[in-house]
Chains A and B, each alone.
Chain A
């Protein structure tokens, strides 16, 4: 009997674990280690953050679902990986520390035959002084708890506006190296929509601040779509939406510090500025969760297994090179660690070879570049693909050494993504930006100029996008709970 240990139960880890168990049945063991007791459909946190959904609408308890599936669930956080085992044993293992209230603080060594690292990101609020809801002065929608707190402040702001007060909203990214601009984009337009619905839009000043070089970059170097008989950049699409809804913007900004009611930022041209706010929702930068790695003798090999940002090295080309020399083939296909063939990293946990957007620094040398997004659809596809490969190896179809010849692959440079960004939740007058992008990482050799296939890269704004977003919410909540037909729902 082989044992697969999956670290993390987010989109990627949950997908990998559930499909691996589904394919392997009771002949083999799947263990999931996650510090959270609940699964969260993170895209819908946006609606929690404006009061259109309750936290309980976007979460469910993991333990009953895993029990039904026959998955061994340990509510714990992974602390270290020991891929060579330890003195007296060659069996690799992971050290975990329980967060389960019944075993809180207890540690355990969990041996594995195959390890899938899906730990996701650490929300690195500490990167910017004063950032974040816990110890800082800004709000977040990155977790359902953060989103619920943001909604409390939002409802309070609406009440103030109804009494005649003016309120300034500042939404965007809280550091020069952030990713997930899409989440902030969704939030700002849901805020705008809700304020119109509440009849207080005229009392609000709404402003965007982000590290993107241009509006509509989204950390994927923007995209080009066919629109009105033209090929149009997402810059135009985004600027059009911002101008239409009367939302001002600042781009190319590194937020240096967030104080109570104001923040300081630096722009690409080196100028510094200050913005005041009554309500600020700023996405933090992501880093690895801080997993350590040790060899058999107990020496620290974290630098060998992980990139400096804390994400795990896989089969990508990490050779530093200028933007002009970046290739689609730099991106990993199999997500297999180069030193330990039975370790894989999926979703946000794998180290990307470089950003997708063109890197930029301010004239003062401050990096201001969106980090590459790996959330949502790519995370799900990568998780499922790696699970398929590991199952094939367990079933003897090929060996770990043959994965790069015979394994399933899911490079972000040969994968598309569908993204539906809500711009207002209402069945009859809501809207969303429905986008597809193919491939996610531009391939300028295959598609000169735009880097993407114009037949499969498209976008439009409308109510239909909202319907899709709404249906996706229920579809993925259904799928994640392994309800009847869950395997038929695509990632």
Chain B
């Protein structure tokens, strides 16, 4: 798993791009590919998308 040292190397001080944004930390990155968590998100995202689809047909 990447650590914060690895992550912060992409940030340049006073750069008008990378200095002003958020970069996910190790735990957030872990969650993005954690199979159990992502399976739960898979169910939730599908339900949300179906809700949007159902609101779009008139």
A-side residues, CB < 8 A to B, are: 236, 239-240, 242-246, 248-249, 377, 381, 384-385, 408-410, 414-418, 428-429, 431, 434, 436, 438, 456, 458, 460-465, 467-468, 490-491
Contacts and interface: CB of A to CB of B under 8 A. Distances in A.
Contact of B10 (A246, A249, A434): A246
A408 B57 CA distance: 9
B41 A462 contact: yes
Q: Interface on chain B toward A: helix, strand, loop, or mixed SS? A: helix
A463 B58 contact: no
B49 interface: yes
Contact of A418 (B23, B24, B53): B53
A204 to B, nearest CB: 14
Contact of B42 (A240, A249, A467): A467
A418 B48 CA distance: 9
Given A239-B21, A410-B58, A416-B55, A431 B45 contact: no
Contact of B52 (A409, A410, A456, A467): A456
A385 B57 contact: yes
A246 to B, nearest CB: 5
Given A463-B33, A464-B38, A468-B45, 15 more contacts: A236-B22, A243-B10, A243-B18, A249-B17, A377-B53, A409-B58, A434-B45, A436-B49, A438-B52, A456-B52, A462-B31, A467-B38, A468-B42, A468-B46, A491-B53
B33 A431 contact: yes
Contacts of B34: 463
Contact of A408 (B51, B55, B58): B58
Contacts of B39: 464
A414 B57 CA distance: 9
A440 B49 CA distance: 14
A259 B7 CA distance: 35
A236 B20 CA distance: 9
